[in-house]
């Protein structure tokens, strides 16, 4: 069952804030990108970067050959026709990463800045890799260590309103602030399970409404909100498998209304909380086969027969180890469904209520009669 966490600081309705009141209509399933393929598909997709021009960059970690070391590989996807353009693979020291190249073996998460540069963390190389969307490497920065500005198993990465980067250090439980070319600006965090402490954090998102930071506190199975100076503000979710509970959350994203989507990775679902930290709804996956997948199946009579004999096809549409969640300006939600080689897309439906349209909360004492 859900356990509602007491906010650490007062984020109740009476607080002065800019979060709109919403009439929640729901989420509409839109489509599924990708299929199990090392070429023209995904293998080990970790995250997706959303571009304003309608292109999406899916960050892959798996190799074509399961026996080989993983490598960094983006796939550019066009949502309109589900077209796959060329792979984008970083080039380091004049050498494009090839199969078996272990220089950037462990990409974790990525973001796209306003200048169309992709930034991704690499948790073993202890690096942030910047490449442009044509695949040219702009820079690789990061120094291994536990000190200020050092990287230690970097995972989550997010841009703030000033186009600076927040980077999560999974291995020393810290969150650090950098310019896009790697200049250290500040940071906070320490190991523990008390409020404000972290245990192997993973994803991070900047709340677009108030600029606070929301961090997936992975091994504590919760999400925490911090001010940019590191003050703990809120704990969202608690460990478990029940309603509103989290089991090792990985990705997290806050949309323009302050709603928090969390990739509840080991529960194979995505949860949404409102800005107060209350659980609102969950997503378990609704995947459909896209035209490319259909074309693929049509070439394989035996698989068509096998599929015709399947008893429970429900399993196929469900999320499996969803790793990241992202949103775009159109109100779409992207779930990187790592264990199923795909990205599932939803569209948020809601209406922002004007103050005159909704009863004043201050007068309201939850009668629950209607």
Could you list the residues that contact other proteins (CB under 8 A)?
A: 35-41, 43-44, 46, 61-67, 69-70, 102, 105-106, 108, 123-124, 153, 170-171, 200, 202, 218-219, 248, 250, 266, 287, 289, 292-293, 295-303, 306-307, 309-311, 313, 315-316, 320-321, 323, 338-342
- Residue 67: phi and psi, rounded to 5, are -80, -20
Minimum Å gap between C-beta 88 and other proteins is: 14
What 3-state DSSP class applies to 338? helix
Six-digit token string for 194: 């008390």
Query: What whole-number distance in Å separates Cα of residue 361 and Cα of residue 365?
Result: 8
User: How far is Cα 268 from Cα 266, in angstroms, rounded to an integer?
Assistant: 5
Helix (H, G, I), strand (E, B) or coil at 238: coil
By beta-carbon proximity to other proteins, the closer residue of 38 and 333 is 38
For other proteins, which is the closer residue by CB, 1 or 313? Answer: 313
* Residue whose token pair is 């078996």: 100
Measured distance CA(309)–CA(328) in Å, rounded:
38
If the CB atoms of residues 173 and 248 are measured against other proteins, the closer one turns out to be 248
In the bound state with other proteins, the residue whose beta carbon lies nearer, of 39 and 362, is 39
Scan for tokens 């906010």, then name that residue: 7
CB of 217 to other proteins, least distance (A): 13
Strands annotated E in 228-320? 232-236, 252-254, 260-264, 269-273, 279-283
By beta-carbon proximity to other proteins, the closer residue of 301 and 368 is: 301
Distance of closest approach, residue 113 Cβ to other proteins, in angstroms? 24
């Amino acid at each position: 069952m859900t356990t509602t966490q007491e906010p650490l600081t007062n984020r109740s309705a009476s607080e002065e804030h800019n979060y709109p009141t919403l009439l929640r209509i729901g989420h509409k399933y839109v489509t599924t990108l990708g299929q199990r393929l090392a070429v023209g598909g995904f293998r080990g997709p970790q995250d997706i970067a959303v571009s304003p021009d309608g292109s999406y960059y899916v960050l892959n970690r798996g190799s074509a050959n399961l026996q080989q070391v993983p490598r960094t590989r983006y796939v550019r996807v066009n949502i309109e026709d589900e077209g796959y353009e060329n792979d984008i693979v970083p080039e380091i020291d004049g050498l494009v990463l090839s199969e078996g190249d272990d220089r950037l073996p462990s990409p974790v998460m990525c973001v796209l800045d306003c200048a169309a540069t992709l930034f991704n963390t690499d948790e073993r190389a202890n690096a942030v890799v910047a490449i442009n969307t044509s695949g040219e490497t702009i820079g690789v920065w990061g120094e291994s260590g536990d000190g200020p500005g050092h990287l230690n198993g970097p995972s989550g990465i997010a841009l703030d309103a000033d186009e600076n980067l927040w980077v999560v250090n999974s291995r020393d439980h810290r969150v650090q602030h950098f310019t896009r070319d790697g200049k250290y600006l500040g940071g906070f965090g320490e190991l523990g399970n008390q409020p404000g402490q972290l245990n192997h954090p993973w994803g991070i998102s900047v709340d677009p409404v108030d600029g606070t930071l929301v961090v997936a506190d992975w091994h504590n199975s919760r999400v925490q909100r911090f001010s940019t100076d590191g003050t703990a503000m809120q704990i969202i979710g608690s460990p478990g498998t029940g309603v509103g509970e989290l089991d090792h959350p990985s990705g997290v994203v806050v949309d323009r209304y302050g709603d928090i989507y969390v990739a509840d990775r080991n529960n194979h679902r995505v949860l949404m909380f409102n800005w107060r930290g209350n659980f609102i709804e969950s997503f378990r996956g609704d995947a459909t086969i896209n035209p490319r997948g259909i074309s693929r199946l049509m070439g394989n009579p035996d698989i068509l027969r096998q599929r015709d004999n399947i008893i429970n096809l429900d399993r196929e549409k469900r999320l499996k180890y969803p790793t990241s969640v992202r949103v775009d300006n159109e109100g779409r939600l992207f779930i990187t469904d790592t264990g199923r080689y795909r990205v599932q897309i939803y569209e948020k439906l809601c209406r922002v209520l004007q103050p005159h349209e909704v009863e004043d909360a201050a007068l309201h004492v939850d009668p629950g009669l209607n």
